[in-house]
């Protein structure tokens, strides 16, 4: 790898994308498209971290992502078991493929496993969505981000704030700001579904603008039964229907602790495919979530968001007034019912062309 002149003929360049969890499939979509447009060989490796069709297959189908070339079928397990199984399997895949780049996405166990495997095989590794920090070391995603950033050769930061974090950790020379690839795919899908009726409005009879969309899946909210009971109590008492798009982790934890996800204002619903989610966001009156991606998607669609976490990586959404983080359970209802924030045309997440920039940066660093 070097910063030598780019090759004239890109066809021999090979990039391996390693993915495994729902948000990574969304990020993969614009990269797969940009890779095809650039004429590079793009090999998709799916670790199998997410295996439910609604968390995996529907994203490949709806976002027109080519089927994975390799599927490791790793599945669930404790962090060590899951990450270790991926590591063991990825060594052989990367060694056989010998790509110019391994591209890893976001902050899941699949991300850190792929980065570690690639760096130990001396295969250049690039981290997409580098530099995000919550500074909360209790979050598994925070370890995954920090370890991946320090292992990777190229840090593709989505924002200036992310680049500042990397600089503070001594990683400025490996960093380039490319924008946010989730913005690429969101804008495209938003335009495609603009005329579509929200599946929640169609199926559940809730009124456009008069209901909330909620998701809860993070370990810090689901794994402590008291915390989960308090959060669901607060949502059940909100002033409008709350459609809870329930991740399998949430369903399992609620069931094992006798917590109902359909009571009061709260109504559990299976997770949505991505275009349906975007259509649902466009019709709802507000979002309540602990997802990183959904906070940003809400902001980009100008839907007020309330985030059930003590901190966020997407600080711009808070600074611009579109995201509020209630620090106590009692603060949730007033936060959700707050007046609509002031309009803004700020674009901290880029122009929807980040994936093209990612390809340019990768190709510019492949030897002729």
Q: Closest separation between CB of residue 146 and ligand UD1, Å?
A: 13
Residue 134 lies near ligand UD1 (rule: CB under 6 A): no
Distance between CA 290 and CA 287 in Å, rounded?
10
Q: Where are the beta strands (DSSP E) in the chain?
A: 14-19, 41-46, 70-71, 101-105, 125-128, 154-157, 175-177, 212-215, 242-245, 266-269, 286-289, 305-307, 323-324
Coil/strand/helix, residue 122: coil
Q: Closest separation between CB of residue 330 and ligand UD1, Å?
A: 26
Residue 364, Cβ neighbours under 10 Å: how many?
13
Binding mask 102-131 for ligand UD1 (x = CB under 6 A): -----xxx----------------------
Q: Closest separation between CB of residue 221 and ligand UD1, Å?
A: 10
Residue 274, Cβ neighbours under 10 Å: how many?
21
Q: Closest separation between CB of residue 115 and ligand UD1, Å?
A: 13
Query: Which residue reads 């498209």 in tokens?
Result: 33
Residue 309 lies near ligand UD1 (rule: CB under 6 A): no
Catalytic residue among 42, 46, 50, 217: 217
Residue 141 lies near ligand UD1 (rule: CB under 6 A): yes
Binding residue (CB under 6 A) for ligand UD1 from 6, 140, 264, 321: 140
Binding residue (CB under 6 A) for ligand UD1 from 25, 29, 34, 49: 49
What DSSP string describes 48-86? Answer: -S--SGGGTHHHHHHTTPPPPSEE-------HHHHHHHH
Residue 217 lies near ligand UD1 (rule: CB under 6 A): yes
Binding mask 247-276 for ligand UD1 (x = CB under 6 A): xxx--x------------------------
Q: Closest separation between CB of residue 76 and ligand UD1, Å?
A: 3
Question: 267: which strand partners?
Answer: 243
Cβ closest to ligand UD1, residue 33 vs residue 290: 290
Strands 125-128 and 154-157: parallel
Active site residue 217: yes
The CA R_g of the chain, rounded to the nearest whole Å, is: 20
Binding residue (CB under 6 A) for ligand UD1 from 7, 10, 55, 240: 55
Q: Closest separation between CB of residue 222 and ligand UD1, Å?
A: 8
Residue 11 lies near ligand UD1 (rule: CB under 6 A): no
Q: Where are the beta strands (DSSP E) in 162-310?
A: 175-177, 212-215, 242-245, 266-269, 286-289, 305-307
CA separation, residue 276 to residues 44, 96, 110 (Å): 24, 38, 26
Note whether 132 and 165 are within 8 A (CB). Answer: yes
Residue 142 lies near ligand UD1 (rule: CB under 6 A): no
> By the criterion CB under 6 A, which residues form the site for ligand UD1?
21-23, 49-52, 55, 76, 107-109, 140-141, 217, 247-249, 252
Which residues are known to be catalytic?
217
């Amino acid at each position: 790898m070097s910063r030598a002149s780019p090759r004239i003929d890109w066809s021999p360049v090979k990039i391996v994308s390693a993915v495994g969890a729902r948000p990574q499939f969304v990020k993969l979509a614009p990269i797969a498209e940009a890779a095809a447009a650039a004429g590079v060989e793009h090999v998709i490796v799916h670790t199998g971290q997410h295996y439910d069709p609604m968390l995996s297959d529907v994203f490949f189908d709806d976002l027109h992502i080519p089927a994975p070339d390799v599927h490791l079928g790793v599945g669930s397990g404790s962090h060590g078991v899951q990450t270790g199984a991926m590591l063991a399997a990825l060594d052989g895949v990367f060694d056989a493929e010998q790509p110019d780049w391994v591209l890893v996405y976001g902050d899941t166990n699949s991300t850190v496993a792929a980065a570690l495997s690639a760096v130990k095989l001396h295969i250049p590794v690039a981290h997409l969505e580098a530099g995000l920090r919550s500074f909360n070391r209790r979050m598994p995603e925070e370890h995954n981000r920090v370890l991946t950033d320090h292992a990777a050769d190229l840090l593709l930061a989505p924002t200036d704030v992310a680049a500042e974090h990397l600089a503070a950790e001594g990683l400025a020379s490996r960093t380039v700001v490319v924008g946010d690839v989730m913005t690429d795919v969101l804008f495209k899908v938003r335009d495609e579904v603009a005329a579509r009726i929200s599946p929640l409005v169609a199926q559940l009879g809730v009124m456009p603008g008069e209901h909330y969309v909620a998701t809860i899946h993070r370990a810090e909210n689901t794994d402590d039964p008291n915390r989960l009971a308090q959060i669901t109590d607060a949502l059940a008492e909100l002033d409008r229907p709350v459609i809870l798009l329930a991740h399998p982790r949430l369903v399992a934890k609620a069931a094992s602790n006798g917590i109902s996800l359909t009571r009061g204002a709260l109504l559990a619903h299976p997770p949505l495919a991505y275009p349906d989610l975007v259509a649902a966001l466009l019709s709802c009156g507000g979002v309540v979530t602990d997802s990183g991606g959904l906070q940003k998607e809400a902001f980009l669609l100008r839907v007020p968001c309330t985030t059930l976490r003590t901190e966020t990586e997407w600080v711009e959404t808070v600074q611009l007034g579109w995201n509020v983080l209630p620090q106590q359970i009692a603060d949730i209802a007033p936060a959700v019912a707050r007046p609509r924030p002031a309009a803004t045309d700020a674009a901290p997440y880029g122009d929807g062309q980040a994936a093209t920039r990612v390809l340019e940066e990768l190709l510019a660093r492949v030897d002729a």
